[in-house]
Structure 1
Amino acid sequence: MPWTLPSRLSRRSLLAGAAGAAGAALLTGCSDDDGSSDTGTGVPLERRMREKAVRDSGRLLERYDATAVAHPALAERLAPLRAAVAAHTGALASADAATGKPPRSASPSSPAASAPAGAPAVSGEPVPPKPEEALTALADAERSLAEARTIALAGAPGELARLLASVAACGAVHAYLLTSPQGDKP
């Protein structure tokens, strides 16, 4: 009998995937690479990766803000997820501050300006006019970013790899919560 993908991921399979990503991060974290390798830009690999992660999180924050403004009824539901994304942005940016170099990041606490449904978020992606579609679009953005961060683990220095694994796992859970019927309940 051929194996087929389930139409909806179970919580158990989602957590198993997150655990696998965390395990990969731990294995990656055992390398001798200190993240100081330079390429033609002269900027250390770890710093470039962190700056990209901060920019990506900033764009995701913009999507959360635009969705909450376009669909005020969703704002309360989105608030804890948005707060987690803002915390991720701060965690990713804080290591740059520790090196004495200011991070290039979007402000994690600045909400988007008022925009009607269907208007583009600051990142350029339009907010769908129906709340269900807006949640699905936000879940797709979370899922896509989680997948990109999981892929980036392979080239990330140890501590950054662990942080990216944690943030990717959280993003996968956010995607699940945004599209699950349980996400409608407090």
Structure 2
Amino acid sequence: MPAAPHGPSRRSVLAGAAGAAGAALLTGCTGESGANPEDNGIPLERRMRESAVRDTERLLERYDATTAAHPDLAGRLAPLRAAVAAHRGALAVPGSAPPAGAGGPSASSSGSAPSAGSPAPRSAPVPATAAEALTELAATERSLSEARTLALAGAPGELARLLASVAACGAVHAYLLTSTTPGAAS
């Protein structure tokens, strides 16, 4: 007669290992593990702010390209572009140097890769008609607004509130860019 096994069964060992792996994954998902190889010791809020600033700079570049291609839209786009420039300043890492070109057209974003969930840099030319250019710019604003809304879940408190405000403003910009108002270029 075979002897009764001593210690845990193979099934219980596998179940325990699966549970430990699941717990490790959950800890990694909540950001409580300091071992994320991609953070390079940079705090989450700083990484999120830097990413948001890069995204905002790309949006400013798109406003500038649209204005250059369609000078008749300059009056309509100027207040929206000014708000986006203010967002860049608000999103900047506290104590960091102001971004290049803070008052005017933005400088390119030093070749950084786009962040996950953000719109890709636009290298395509601005559409030929003003109406198409406004529609494309509205789509860019909407896409960035949606990406920022999704980023809220992982953002620290104060940054989450700021991202929510900036995302809401981007949604309003998308609406204003596609709405037809008297005297607005189309």
* Deviation, structure 1 residue 183: 7.5
When residues 126 and 185 of structure 1 are mapped into structure 2, their CA distance, relative to the original with a 3 A threshold, is closer
- Paired residues for 1:39-118 under 5 Å: 39-40=36-37, 41-93=40-92, 95-97=93-95, 101-102=96-97, 105=99, 107-111=101-105
CA–CA distance in structure 1, aligned partners of residues 142 and 125 of structure 2: 17
Q: TM-score, normalised by structure 1?
A: 0.67
CA–CA distance in structure 1, aligned partners of residues 183 and 43 of structure 2: 43
* Deviation, structure 1 residue 102: 4.0
Residue 134 of structure 1: aligned partner = 133
CA–CA distance in structure 1, aligned partners of residues 157 and 35 of structure 2: 16
Q: TM-score, normalised by structure 2?
A: 0.67
When residues 112 and 149 of structure 1 are mapped into structure 2, their CA distance, relative to the original with a 3 A threshold, is closer
Q: CA RMSD in A?
A: 2.6
Q: Secondary structure at the match of 1:96?
A: coil
Residues paired across the two proteins, number: 139
Which stretches in structure 1 are left out of the alignment for 5+ residues? 1-32, 114-121
Contact persistence 2:45–2:159 (CA under 8 A):
yes
What is the CA deviation profile of residues 7-53 of structure 1, one whole-angstrom value per residue up to 9, with x for unaligned ones?
xxxxxxxxxxxxxxxxxxxxxxxxxx9x9x67321110000000000
- The one-letter amino acid of 1:39's match is N
CA–CA distance in structure 2, aligned partners of residues 49 and 183 of structure 1: 39
Which stretches in structure 2 are left out of the alignment for 5+ residues? 1-29, 108-120
* Deviation, structure 1 residue 126: 1.7
- Paired residues for 1:144-183 under 5 Å: 144-182=143-181
Contact persistence 2:100–2:106 (CA under 8 A):
no
CA–CA distance in structure 1, aligned partners of residues 156 and 165 of structure 2: 14
Structure of larger gyration radius: 2
* Deviation, structure 1 residue 124: 1.4
- The one-letter amino acid of 2:86's match is A
Structure 1 stretches of 4+ moved >4 Å = 183-186
Contact persistence 1:58–1:108 (CA under 8 A):
no
Contact persistence 1:142–1:171 (CA under 8 A):
yes
Contact persistence 2:61–2:106 (CA under 8 A):
yes
- Quote the sequence identity (%): 67
Residue 8 of structure 1: aligned partner = none
When residues 150 and 112 of structure 1 are mapped into structure 2, their CA distance, relative to the original with a 3 A threshold, is closer
